[in-house]
Amino acid sequence: MKKPIRVAVTGAAGQIGYALLPRIASGEMLGKDQEVILQLVEIPPVMDALRGVAMELDDCAFPLLREMILSEDPRHGFEGADLVLLVGAKPRGKGQQRGDLIRDNGPIFVGQGRAIAEVADAGVRVAVVGNPANTNALIAMANAGGLPRERFTAMTRLDQNRAAAQLAGRAGVEVSAVTNVAIWGNHSATQYPDFENARIGGRPATEVIGDREWLEGDFLGTVQKRGAAIIEARGQSSAMSAASALVDHVRDWMAGTPTPEGDWVSMAVPSDGSYGIEEGLISSFPVRTDGQGGYEIVQGLDLSTFARERVDASVQELEEERSVVEDLLGSGSAT
Ligand code: NAD
Ligand code: LMR
């Protein structure tokens, strides 16, 4: 048996936490031969509920769950963590945009970024889910002096999965036939789900679907606004699908399942200036993961004028979000 992996999860008693924790503890995220130690972080009023979640995890009798640590202090909860999943944050309600949460949720990521740099394992990897995810990841990164910035990611895999499901449905194929789906920009209604570079059964999705109007209209709008549609229908934001996307994000990044040759996955990562996206912004890109905690941004993809305008608009929104949290970016950035 390998050394157990320490996985810290914030917001562990929330909706996503409830759908996520059994999947980590059962080995779906990090491997069926990989023991895990769950380090669960919540805010003080929710610690009783968290103890209830921990009781249920005990009752699942997962053979790979070595230990659980419950804490209301990230400095304790992140100690020695190999992986930190920053889920804990307020969700939006009906009629709100994710960006409306920025001044409520942003400050959470200042202290958590510092705590990661101070007490997590030196090899720590971080995935941010709490919204607005890209900018929250930027805040955490900007406060995590001493760590390499590429360790900080935000989740856009849910958007990728949504786009793949829509394309598969329209083409009448299994979702596994859809590859090369890139999400560009922000996890928001301005994101650009790139149908021009997507493939279905190895052929361009545009050719297989043959309906540009649908791709530019219904497809784009459905993916961009899917989160809001779920809130409208369920009264609560997505949780099962968000947890599942996070399992995909981490598994491909860290658990020995590199991106298949010729394909890519979508992750929001610090820009290195690729595709003219300002260096340092956390933007979604197509990336290739190595399954060992590394990734690289896929280079050389064509972006049409249609695509370029949409990517630029989403990046502009990221710049605007950054300007709203300028005061939270100050204490020593990951480099
Ligand atoms: P939820 O309200 O059910 O749970 C959030 C939990 O976080 C609560 O238990 C709360 O007590 C806890 N929390 C709040 N502040 C905290 C802090 N400082 N430290 C630790 N825990 C804290 O919400 P949810 O449905 O689980 O969603 C969580 C976040 O994820 C929201 O911001 C939501 O918008 C976002 N989200 C993102 C994606 C994505 O694709 N990136 C998808 C779905 C949801
Ligand atoms: C989603 O995409 O489902 C989440 O970001 C939740 C939301 O507010 O839409």
Question: Within this chain, do residues 139 and 199 fall inside the same structural domain, yes or no?
Answer: no
Question: Within this chain, do residues 269 and 215 fall inside the same structural domain, yes or no?
Answer: yes
Q: Which domain holds residue 243?
A: 157-322
Question: Within this chain, do residues 251 and 294 fall inside the same structural domain, yes or no?
Answer: yes
In one-letter notation, the amino acid at residue 175 is: V
Nearest CA to ligand 1 atom 27: 91
Domain boundary among 97, 120, 154: 154
Q: Is the CB of 10 under 6 A from ligand 1?
A: yes
Neighbours of 309 (CB within 10 A): 12
**Distance of alpha carbon 256 from alpha carbon 230, whole angstroms:** 32
pLDDT reported for residue 332: 82
Give the residue, out of 9, 16, 85, 100, with the most ligand 1 atoms within 8 A of its beta carbon, to mutate for a pocket test. Answer: 16
Q: Is the CB of 37 under 6 A from ligand 1?
A: no
pLDDT reported for residue 1: 66
CA 103 to centroid of ligand 1, rounded, Å: 15
For residue 139, give the nearest of 323, 6, 11, 312 by alpha carbon. Answer: 323
Question: Within this chain, do residues 166 and 280 fall inside the same structural domain, yes or no?
Answer: yes
Domain boundary among 134, 154, 174: 154
**Distance of alpha carbon 251 from alpha carbon 161, whole angstroms:** 14
Q: Split the chain (335 residues) into runs of 10 and give each run's mean pLDDT.
A: 94 98 98 97 98 98 98 98 98 92 96 98 98 98 96 98 98 98 98 98 98 98 98 97 98 91 96 97 98 97 98 98 94 80
Give the residue, out of 129, 241, 267, 321, with the most ligand 1 atoms within 8 A of its beta carbon, to mutate for a pocket test. Answer: 129
Tell me, yes or no, if 187 is annotated catalytic: yes
Residue ranges of E strands in the chain:
5-10, 36-41, 65-71, 83-86, 125-128, 152-154, 178-179, 182-184, 192-194, 199-200, 203-204, 265-270, 282-289, 295-297
**Which ligand has its closest atom nearest to the C-alpha of 128?**
1
> What lines the ligand 2 site, CB under 6 Å?
91-92, 98, 131, 158, 227-228, 230, 237-238
How far is CA 193 from each of CA 47, 131, 294, 306, rounded to the nearest angstrom?
38, 19, 23, 12
Q: Is the CB of 155 under 6 A from ligand 1?
A: yes
Kindly report the CATH number assigned to the domain that includes residue 243: 3.90.110.10
How far is CA 256 from each of CA 96, 243, 292, rounded to the nearest angstrom?
38, 19, 6
CA 307 to centroid of ligand 1, rounded, Å: 31
Q: Is residue 75 part of a domain?
A: yes
Question: Within this chain, do residues 204 and 314 fall inside the same structural domain, yes or no?
Answer: yes
For residue 2, give the nearest of 37, 53, 26 by alpha carbon. Answer: 37
CA 227 to centroid of ligand 2, rounded, Å: 4
Question: Within this chain, do residues 48 and 84 fall inside the same structural domain, yes or no?
Answer: yes
Nearest CA to ligand 2 atom 9: 227
pTM metric for this prediction? 0.98
Question: Within this chain, do residues 11 and 72 fall inside the same structural domain, yes or no?
Answer: yes
pLDDT reported for residue 78: 98
CA angle 72, 73, 77 (to 5 degrees): 95
Kindly report the CATH number assigned to the domain that includes residue 76: 3.40.50.720
Domain boundary among 154, 171, 187: 154
Q: Is the CB of 42 under 6 A from ligand 1?
A: yes
**Helix extents (H) in 173-239:** 205-209, 212-214, 220-224, 226-234
Q: Is the CB of 11 under 6 A from ligand 1?
A: yes
Question: Within this chain, do residues 62 and 102 fall inside the same structural domain, yes or no?
Answer: yes
Question: Within this chain, do residues 131 and 191 fall inside the same structural domain, yes or no?
Answer: no
